[in-house]
Amino acid sequence: MVKTLTKHGNSLALVIEKPILDLIGAEADTPFNITTDGHALVLTPIKATTREAAFKVSLDRVNKNYARALKKLAE
């Protein structure tokens, strides 16, 4: 696939079509790691699965230990 850059303010942008984003599991708010070998760019979506998993474990623990208190606060 051949793409051209698009003027975006004082910068240039590369538009990535939705089917490509779906293929790599990226969305509009997905951060990317950009690397180069001096001749080519490599864009890699950053997936924070370990951080999200740790957050879910912590959230489940808080909900389990403080369910009654959280319910009272919500009322």
Mean per-residue pLDDT, 18-34 = 91
Q: Which domain holds residue 31?
A: 6-74
Answer whether residue 47 is part of any domain: yes
- pLDDT of 17: 94
Stretch 41-50: mean pLDDT, rounded? 84
Q: Is residue 1 part of a domain?
A: no
CA distance 27 to 13: 16
Domain count, the chain: 1
**Average predicted confidence (pLDDT) for the chain:** 90
**Is the pLDDT confidence value at 46 over 90?**
no
Largest CA distance in the chain: 60
Q: Is the pLDDT of residue 48 over 80?
A: no
67 belongs to a structural domain:
yes
